[in-house]
Structure 1
């Protein structure tokens, strides 16, 4: 009678060993050192992957940017052609740091105060710091329009004219332009841009003493339906002029 040995009672078939290579040896547990190296590398990659995920998951906010980078971003915003002169006010309402940076860099950001004549200019300057002023208005109808017109004429006549960098008067009646022209018979040393559009013909002739006969910093001069025979004389002093238009 033959007895068939069970797997537990007999000797097991020897496990074939892996052939050794010149660069590896076979440890006692039957696994090569190359396999151990693979496992170690795998663990290392898993740890590194988890660290990268941790870095990627970290939140980056705009407040982490240095002041110089923030000012570059602010500059792109305020110098956009679709942004109004007063839209930089939005930066002041974000946080105290943005307000400080904005007011600390008026020249770099090209900040301007937009004056429309709704209030006397002195009242506006009591609220805002000393910044370049751009006078702009296009509404001259009714009591509100006349009030704005009177305040603008007064501002042009005042001692604050040294802060005026721009004058933009749209659709101005000929009668009001006569008052404006009379108020501008003096130098405006910081004036850069002038744009005057008259609604109808018959505008008064601008005299030789318009802008004091000299505008050394003027960059842009555009007059619509406004005769100015002495323009050539004025242009002789406008070395920075790059935009000229008249009809």
Structure 2
């Protein structure tokens, strides 16, 4: 069984947690670290409890503690009072960190929140949408750069099933929760010499990555394996 630590607050990363993620093969080397904004002023208005500088320092510490870790985040465009300078600081954070995955949204006022009662939703809708598109464009550029570092590496992939875009391809997820596409062909079974199999949902396979985009990796499958046996064959990003 593999464990994935999801949606923590940036304050929830004592060194003991990072060390555990680094040491245990059954804990995925992927961390979702919601930033929401790259502006310390906006983060304070959101009452996030950290500054941009503290967030970036944590990113550096995580990458030092868990080599090859995959990072994802959440961002909001057009929060109450966000200026153009605040927006540009979020753009620069995306460029600085180079996340592997991201979830980006235009701000929408919600009832029963502090912002609903105390702040004014004063950023025009067209401005929110323009800023959101700019964030998406920059995110895709930077994520493509980050994901291309996996090209040439051999990765463990948990098979999910057929690709939605091709009946001749399979789709799965790697350690960093990125989608990996590879041909649905016969392969060796690393645990049973001479046996050839076709991968099924729930199987682990080794895939050598040949190309990457902002959302997807592609490669060719090497063999079926197990979580226990895979570590000797996987190459770090």
TM over 0.5: no
Return the TM-score normalized by structure 2.
Answer: 0.34
* Greater per-residue strand proportion: 2
Higher RCO (CA < 8 A, seq sep 6+): 2
Return the TM-score normalized by structure 1.
Answer: 0.33
* Greater per-residue helix proportion: 1
